[in-house]
Structure 1
Amino acid sequence: MMLWLVTWLCRPLLWLAQRREPAAPRRILLVQTAKIGDMICTLPVIDALARRFPDAALTVMHHPVNRALLKHDPRVTARWEADSSAWRGLGAKLRLARRLRAARYDWIVIASPNLPWLLLPLWAGIPRRIAVTANHGRSVQRAEPLLTDALRHQGERLIVDEWAELLARLDVPVARDKPLYAAPDADAAVDALGLPAGSLIGIGVSAANKLKELGEDKVAALVGELLARSDAHVLLVGGPDDRALAARILGRQPSPRVIDTTGRLALDRLPVLLARLAAYVSVDSGIIYLADALGVPVVSVVGPTDPREQRPLDPRSRFIVERLPCYPCSTVFRTASTCRVGTRACIGNVTATRIADEVITLLHQNRTP
């Protein structure tokens, strides 16, 4: 709040102190400090900027969890790891503004439009300040005039389409493609798993946001349904922290057709594994967006989220939505982590049989004659 007040008091001087914008940007900063799913949904913007300005240096500020996701991306000149602790407190914000000013960015594209990031670019003297802004929060909306180019989010529109509309005004065409770059040794790492031939179904066993998580009982029941109703092998997909959960699921579904891949591949190798799947099923989490970016059809249990604003885009994919009176309670700019009515019914009401029905339908529709 203090930076907000100081900014509005000083804004005439700050506007006078802005650097002149060059004919074409030479240094661009894209800020996306959310986690995996949001970063993947920002890849079309990264791709558009790199294509439109191939000679510009493109820096991406990102959450540390996305280090491997961007590590091999040739479009990105520099990676700047940061989370919200980097600008907590007035002193930290002013230090960050000085660092931004010293870097002499010509454009800043703000995909994480919280209040500090709508104010700091003005302090940094960045000539072109671009953001799709949240559709709630008075302070955030009052800061919109400090941007040079802004579009307010509408809940019923896809974020990627809003970015396309906004950047089209600057002659930057945005497509929906999400190019990914895996580690050079990713194919060898996946081959080393010794996966069987035939159809493979991946299941995301957990979620970073526990509000969305299916839970052990439901995942185990889903595995059982898929084993009984198909001849596919089922891959349990997750990170190192999911190994214990996967072991319990394997204990409840002891079959050679169930393969635990949790924690066996880093994020920059996981794309090669996902690309070999016939289908991937999960709640709305980062890895389901990774699968979608690779052209893998998914079954998404959307839970508290609204797929109108952000979702996997493959036309074959299927969505399970419980439209409760409290739905949706989690949006791209206001992520919920607890159930405000205490039931988690948007997840709890969805049975393993219902999820399996969607997966089997998907497999049948995509089967090659």
Structure 2
Amino acid sequence: MIRSLGPFTVSAIGLGCMNLSHAYGEPVSPEQGERVLLAALDAGVTLFDTAALYGFGANETLVGRVLKPHRSRFTLASKCGMQGVDVNGDGKPVRVIDGRPATLRATCEDSLRRLQTDVIDLYYLHRWDKRVPIEDSVGALADLVRAGKIRSIGLSEVSAATLRRAHAVHPIAAVQTEYSLWTRNPEIAVLDACRELGTAFVAFSPVARGFLCGELTDVGTLHEKDIRRTMPRFAPDAYAANLRLLDGYRAIARDAGCTPAQLALAWLLHRGEHIIPIPGTTSVEHLREDLGAIDVRLDAALMERLDALINERTVTGERYNAQSTSEVDTETYEGRAA
């Protein structure tokens, strides 16, 4: 199964590479990261997604080292506009959102070097810096297209209105936003805007940061550095309430003849032909399980059962805490809980 992404044709399920270096505890070893990346390539994955932020450059370095010999076989996506900066001069980078044109150009050069490539196929603005008009940031990315540094432009976590403003400056090949059964924000307007404009919708965290895999039953076991510890839905009381959804969810997976993780991905694939989920994993076994979702068929009745069971009204807790919410395009969230 393949899908269109701007000028590219890619596998219907891509690989989000963040997990290998960032966010969910200690990074995996370079050897394990290499095994996952090469297993994905061998299994037919042709969309690999990284960012300057992930591991503060370490993830791009890993992807570049491992996949450089196979560069012609896949579409490479990375991101700018949010990266690690040593603002205190202590050698400890902190996350900074900076969409100024000069910063985006410099970040692109750094990413090209780490990725060991002459051109990035899809380059996202990781977050819209509200201090900079979206037209200015996208204009800088358009300059990079003309310079041959990148081939297409993407945006991450933006509203339909912001997408349209950006698209008027330069065609937007993809919008990347969290989307799963338990995060429905894109259904407000972004999915329809993407369909109208011919923009692919790339869904990150498609298995709800592991919740829809059905294996995480005790949030107390999460690593102390796991970002889920700061997310309201994974707070002990909220998560206990959300766990009550899993029995019914597992029953639907059994009826569909698939695993819970495959069910989550298959739901997304059935939601629209312009939707491309990019699950992440540190396990070759889980990678192969995820890719098996391509073969899962869901009829209308199963889709209705899923939609009724897990949705914005039945999930307990907000998607992000207040600080993190301030970093996304809040127009996206008007009128609907996260």
User: Higher Cα Rg: structure 1 or 2?
Assistant: 1
Q: What TM-score does the superposition give when structure 2 sets the normalisation length?
A: 0.34
Q: Which has the higher helix share?
A: 2
